C-alpha cells in the first residue's frame, strides 16, 4: 500500500515511494549533459522530478504512463516542490492500486448521484424528465458519467470531475432561472447536465487522462449529440422541437467557432449555458492553480500561461513582501498565445471571453447578420 503521497512531501524529505509517470521529457543542460524532467502524480497531486545523472540508463527502464518507484530528496524550487531522483525502477501493475494514483473529486460519488436524482425529480417537463431518467437507468453510461474527468488539463481534472462540473453548472442554471423566470428552466438544467456528456467517450481515464481515438476524431460535442439522439430514439414520442433546442445547447455551449463550437448560441438558454459553463470551468481552474503551490511563501502564484497572468492567493497572504513582485516579470515573460491541445478547441481560452470581447468590431445589425448566418451555416 502506498504510504507517501505528494501532498505530504516537505522540503528536505527523503522520498522513497511509487508514482505514476504523467510526463517524461529529456533535455540538454548548458554543459552538454542530458537531464530528465518527470511529472509524477498520485491521487493527491503532482510533483516534478529531476534526474541529472545516469539519464540514458534510467530512461530505458520506463515510459510515460508507467508506474515507477523512485528514491530521492525533496526541495522547493521557484515556489514548487521538486524531487531530485537518485534511483528509479519500473513497477508491475500487479503491485499497484489505481485508486492511489489518480486524482478523485472531493465530492463522494454517492452524494453526487443522489443530487442528480433530486435535480431530475424536481423537473416539471415530462419529456425532459423521461430523457434524464433514461440516462440514469443506463448502468454502462452511469459508470462512465460518474468516473470521467471533465477535462484533460484545465478544470475538474479528476475522477468524478465530469459529474461534479455538470452538477455545478446545473445548480447555476437553476439559480439564474429563479432570477429570470421566463427562461425554460428544465431545458437549461438538462442542457447543463448533458452539455459535456460526450466526454464519457472522448476521454480515457483508466490510468492517466488522455483522448480516445473517437475523442480525437470527433470531439465530445459531436459524441454528446449522438448520445442524446440515441436516447431520444429509444424513448419515442419525444417532441421534435424540444429535441432540436436541446441539441442546440450542446452544439453551441463553447460559444464561438474559434473555441470549437459548431454553432454559436442563438437562444437565450444557449447564451446562458455558454457563460455558466465557462464560469464554473474558470473558477475551478484558478482554484486548482492556487492550491497547487501550498509550499510557496509568496502571496502570488506562478505564472499561468493559459490565463496569461499571476493570481493573488487571497486573504491570509501578505500583499507586501521583500521578495520581488511576480508581476514585474510579466512584460519580460510574455507568454505566447495559447494553442489548444483539446479536440474541443476551447482548452486554451483566456479570461477575455466576455460578451464585450465577443462583440468587439462586430456588425450589430441583427437583420443583416441573420441573412449572412443563414447563408454561411
Domain ranges (residues) in the chain: 6-100, 109-283
Q: Is the pLDDT of residue 151 over 80?
A: yes
Q: How many CA atoms lie within 13 A of 145 on its CB side?
A: 24
- Sorting pLDDT into bands at 50, 70 and 90, what band is 2? confident
What's the fold here for domain 109-283? Hypothetical protein af1432 (1.10.3210)
Residue 102: its pLDDT value, please? 83
Residue 337: its pLDDT value, please? 47
Residue 360: its pLDDT value, please? 61
Please enumerate, as own/partner, the contacts of 313-322 that have beta carbons within 8 Å and a separation of 24 or more: 314/290
Q: Is the pLDDT of residue 339 over 50?
A: no
Q: Is the pLDDT of residue 33 over 90?
A: yes
The CATH number of the structural domain formed by 6-100 is 2.40.50.140
Q: Is the pLDDT of residue 376 over 60?
A: no
Of the listed ranges 127-131, 150-154, 307-311, 327-331, the least confidently predicted one is: 327-331
Residue 333: its pLDDT value, please? 41
- Sorting pLDDT into bands at 50, 70 and 90, what band is 327? low
- Sorting pLDDT into bands at 50, 70 and 90, what band is 1? low
- Sorting pLDDT into bands at 50, 70 and 90, what band is 168? very high
Give mean pLDDT, residues 112-121.
97
Q: Is the pLDDT of residue 207 over 60?
A: yes
Residue 306: its pLDDT value, please? 81
Of the listed ranges 14-23, 142-151, 355-364, the least confidently predicted one is: 355-364
Highest-pLDDT range among 23-37, 185-199, 207-221: 185-199
Is 50 in contact with 72 (CB distance < 8 Å)?
A: no
- 214/203 Cα distance (integer angstroms): 9
Is 209 in contact with 155 (CB distance < 8 Å)?
A: no
Give mean pLDDT, residues 60-77.
92
The dihedral sign for the CA sequence 80, 65, 26, 304: negative
Residue 283: its pLDDT value, please? 92
- 188/266 Cα distance (integer angstroms): 13
Q: Is the pLDDT of residue 230 over 70?
A: yes
**The C-alpha cell of 302 is what?**
506562478
**The C-alpha cell of 33 is what?**
549533459
Comparing 303 with 364, the larger pLDDT belongs to 303
- The three-state secondary structure class of 49 is strand
First and final C-alpha spacing in the chain: 56
Give mean pLDDT, residues 268-291.
92
- pLDDT tens column, 299-322: 888 888 888 888 898 766 555 444
Q: Is the pLDDT of residue 252 over 70?
A: yes
Average pLDDT for the chain: 84
- 349/370 Cα distance (integer angstroms): 26
Amino acid at each position: 500500500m502506498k504510504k507517501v503521497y505528494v501532498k505530504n512531501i516537505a522540503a528536505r524529505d527523503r522520498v522513497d515511494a511509487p508514482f505514476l509517470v504523467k510526463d517524461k521529457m529529456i533535455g540538454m543542460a548548458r554543459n552538454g549533459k542530458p537531464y530528465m524532467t518527470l511529472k509524477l502524480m498520485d491521487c493527491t497531486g503532482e510533483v516534478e522530478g529531476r534526474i541529472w545523472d545516469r539519464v540514458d540508463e534510467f530512461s530505458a527502464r520506463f515510459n510515460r504512463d508507467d508506474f515507477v518507484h523512485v528514491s530521492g530528496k525533496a526541495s522547493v524550487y521557484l515556489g514548487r516542490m521538486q524531487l531530485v531522483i537518485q534511483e528509479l525502477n519500473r513497477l508491475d501493475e500487479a503491485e499497484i492500486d489505481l485508486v492511489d494514483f489518480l486524482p478523485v473529486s472531493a465530492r463522494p460519488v454517492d452524494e453526487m448521484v443522489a443530487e442528480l436524482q433530486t435535480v431530475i425529480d424536481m423537473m416539471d417537463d415530462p419529456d425532459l424528465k423521461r430523457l434524464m431518467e433514461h440516462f440514469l437507468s443506463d448502468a454502462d453510461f452511469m459508470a462512465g458519467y460518474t468516473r470521467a474527468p471533465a477535462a484533460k488539463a484545465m478544470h475538474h481534472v479528476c475522477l468524478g470531475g465530469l459529474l461534479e462540473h455538470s452538477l455545478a453548472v446545473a445548480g447555476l442554471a437553476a439559480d439564474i432561472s429563479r432570477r429570470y423566470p421566463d427562461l425554460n428552466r428544465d431545458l437549461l438544467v438538462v442542457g447543463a447536465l448533458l452539455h459535456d456528456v460526450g466526454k464519457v467517450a472522448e476521454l480515457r481515464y483508466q490510468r492517466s487522462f488522455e483522448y480516445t481515438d473517437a475523442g480525437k476524431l470527433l470531439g465530445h460535442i459531436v459524441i454528446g449529440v449522438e448520445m442524446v439522439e440515441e436516447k431520444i430514439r429509444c424513448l419515442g414520442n419525444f417532441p421534435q422541437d424540444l429535441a432540436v433546442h436541446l441539441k442546440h445547447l450542446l452544439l453551441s455551449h463553447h460559444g464561438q467557432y474559434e473555441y470549437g463550437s459548431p454553432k454559436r448560441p442563438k437562444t437565450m438558454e444557449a447564451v446562458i449555458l455558454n457563460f455558466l459553463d465557462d464560469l464554473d470551468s474558470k473558477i475551478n481552474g484558478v482554484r486548482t492553480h492556487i492550491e497547487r503551490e501550498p509550499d510557496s511563501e509568496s502571496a502570488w502564484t506562478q505564472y499561468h500561461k493559459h490565463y496569461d497572468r499571476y493570481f493573488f492567493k487571497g486573504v491570509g497572504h501578505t500583499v507586501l513582501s521583500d521578495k520581488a513582485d511576480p508581476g514585474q516579470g510579466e512584460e519580460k515573460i510574455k507568454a505566447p498565445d495559447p494553442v489548444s491541445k483539446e479536440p474541443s478547441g476551447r482548452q486554451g481560452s483566456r479570461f477575455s471571453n466576455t460578451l464585450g470581447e465577443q462583440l468587439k468590431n462586430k456588425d450589430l445589425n441583427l437583420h443583416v447578420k441573420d441573412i449572412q448566418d443563414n447563408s454561411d451555416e
